[in-house]
């Protein structure tokens, strides 16, 4: 890895961050707070939230096996993705490299930040060729984006290829593990110490069943997390979200239960999907969704909409011709989908 200072935008490296009232007061036990121009009347939201979300991170440290100094929390993973661009990529000059197809937010954030986005196609099994990604980099490539299990393909990327990039690329590697809770493949969280250029993304939006609270996690070296904290909005995670996250982590047996039910339903739904005359192929998955090649995906998508069922039409995406992406729902929802498709087929 190149020295962090060479990878970070000079203005960010030099930045003196905003210092909030709650940043400046630390440690002492105080009872009278007249420092932040808050209202004294307890709504109960009159106080600003903890800018560093330390209570949430203390729980996450145990749960994820990552020290607090290596945890960043944001307004969804999307905030962390945007921060990667704002911290590392000089607009109009630097570029990033990513697998294709993958999660659409990386390219959108690149466009917003005026950073060139280089797409390297996966192979027909949706696996990546680390050498092809390395060949797409140049001296202005700051970041490589990977997603495993990948969205929309559902598969995990081969571990050896990921390691090859982590060791062979001198910039930052972002590994989005939003769906890792549904996979039997081990997370790279345990490898953070070995790879100082690794940023892992996780989210409360999928397995934690809490897309509505907007809470995303990034795990990285304390130096990278410190850079994210310097650039983020001072109070980027609100009190309601922090409270909801603490409550969720206290009932995590339910998480296991939901995950097991989703995995069970996934197997049933995929087995039935393969039998549908309108389905040509079901791709293997390690996520809470799967990709299916259909006999005319757009026609089937429109038909399902008329039945009040919404799936994701991915047929315009590279390597996903005629593919629908199906999220695993409740047994009732999955049955409704199958029933509609059986009627379509006859
Ligand atoms: C759903 C998803 C996320 C989650 O984003 P949030 O902003 O945390 O809701 C992140 N990455 C991928 C690949 C996803 O599919």
Q: What is the pLDDT of residue 25?
A: 76
Task: Give the pLDDT of residue 345.
Answer: 64
Judge if the beta carbon of residue 113 lies within 6 A of ligand 1. Answer: no
| pLDDT tens column, 173-183 | 999 999 999 99
Q: Measure the CA–CA gap between 70 and 90, rounded to whole angstroms.
A: 24
- CA–centroid distance, residue 165 to ligand 1 (Å): 22
Phi, psi (deg, nearest 5) at residue 313 = -85, 110
pLDDT at 20: 83
**CA–CA gap between residue 169 and residue 100 (Å, rounded):** 18
First-residue to last-residue Cα distance in the chain: 58
In 3D space, the residue among 150, 94, 100, 93 whose CA is nearest the CA of residue 289 turns out to be 150
CB-ligand 1 contact for 205 (6 Å cutoff)? yes
- Is the shortest distance between the CB of 103 and ligand 1 below 6 Å? yes
Please state the separation of Cα 39 from the chain's center in Å.
36
Judge contact between 175 and 142, C-beta under 8 A: no
- Identify the pLDDT of residue 207: 95
Q: Count CA atoms within 13 Å of residue 49 on its CB side.
A: 18
pLDDT at position 42? 95
pLDDT score at 346: 54
How deeply is 133 buried, as exposed, middle or buried, from its count of CB atoms within 10 A (0-12, 13-18, 19+)?
Answer: buried
For residue 216 and ligand 1, the question of a CB distance below 6 A is answered with yes
- How much distance in Å is there from the Cα of 203 to the middle of ligand 1? 7
Residue owning the nearest CA to atom 14 of ligand 1: 178
pLDDT of residue 75: 98
pLDDT at 22: 76
Q: Which residues contact 154 (CB under 8 A, 6 or more apart)?
A: 179, 283, 284, 285, 286, 287, 289, 290, 291
Whether 98 is in the pocket of ligand 1, judged by its Cβ within 6 Å, is no
Q: Could you identify the atom of ligand 1 that is nearest to the CA of residue 211?
A: 9
Residue 188 per-residue DSSP state: G
Question: How far is 146 from 201, CA to CA, in rounded Å?
Answer: 10
pTM, 2 dp: 0.97
pLDDT of residue 21: 80
Q: Give DSSP secondary structure letters for 238-253.
A: -HHHHHHHHHHHHTHH
Task: Check if 77 has its Cβ closer than 6 Å to any atom of ligand 1.
Answer: yes
Q: Is 78 in the pocket of ligand 1 (CB under 6 A)?
A: yes
Put residue 18 in one of left, alpha, beta given phi > 0 → left and psi -120 to 50 → alpha. Answer: beta
Identify which of 104, 206, 312, 325 to mutate to test ligand 1's pocket (most ligand atoms within 8 A of the CB).
206
Mutate to test the pocket of ligand 1, among 101, 108, 151, 178 (most ligand atoms within 8 A of CB): 178
User: Which residue positions in the chain have pLDDT lower than 50?
Assistant: none
DSSP strands (E only) in 157-266: 172-176, 198-203, 216-219
Find the helix or strand (DSSP H, E) in which 64 lies: helix 54-64
Question: Ligand 1 within 6 A of 212 CB?
Answer: no
Residue 105: per-residue pLDDT? 98
Instruction: Please tell me if the CB atom of residue 104 comes closer than 6 angstroms to any atom of ligand 1.
Output: no
């Amino acid at each position: 890895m190149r020295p962090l200072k060479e990878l970070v935008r000079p203005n960010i490296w030099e930045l003196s961050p905003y210092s909030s009232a709650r940043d400046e007061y630390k440690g002492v036990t105080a009872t009278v707070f007249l420092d932040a121009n808050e209202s004294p009347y307890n709504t109960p939201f009159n106080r600003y939230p903890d800018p560093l979300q330390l209570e949430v991170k203390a729980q996450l440290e145990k749960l994820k096996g990552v020290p607090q100094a290596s945890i960043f929390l944001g307004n969804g993973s999307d905030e962390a993705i945007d921060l990667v661009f704002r911290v590392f990529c000089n607009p109009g000059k630097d570029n990033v490299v990513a697998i294709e197809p993958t999660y659409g937010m990386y390219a959108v954030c690149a466009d917003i930040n005026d950073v060139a986005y280089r797409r390297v196609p996966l192979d027909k099994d949706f696996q990546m060729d680390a050498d092809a990604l390395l060949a797409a980099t140049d001296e202005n490539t700051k970041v490589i984006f990977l997603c495993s299990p990948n969205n929309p393909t559902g598969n995990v990327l081969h571990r050896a290829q990921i390691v090859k990039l982590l060791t062979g690329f001198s910039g930052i590697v972002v590994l989005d593990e939003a769906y890792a809770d549904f996979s039997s493949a081990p997370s790279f969280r345990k490898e953070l110490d070995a790879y100082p250029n690794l940023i892992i993304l996780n989210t409360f939006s999928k397995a934690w069943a809490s897309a509505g609270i907007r809470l995303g996690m990034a795990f990285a070296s304390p130096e990278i997390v410190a850079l994210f904290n310097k650039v983020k909005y001072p109070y980027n995670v609100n009190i309601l979200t922090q409270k909801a996250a603490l409550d969720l982590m206290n009932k995590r047996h339910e998480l296991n239960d939901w995950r097991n039910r989703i995995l069970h339903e996934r197997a049933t739904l995929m087995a039935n999907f393969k039998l549908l005359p309108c389905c040509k192929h079901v791709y293997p998955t390690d996520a809470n969704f799967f990709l299916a090649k259909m006999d005319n995906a757009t026609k089937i998508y429109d038909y399902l909409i008329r039945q009040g069922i919404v799936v994701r039409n991915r047929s315009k995406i590279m390597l996903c011709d005629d593919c629908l992406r199906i999220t695993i729902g409740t047994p009732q929802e999955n049955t409704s989908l199958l029933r509609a498709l059986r009627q379509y087929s006859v």
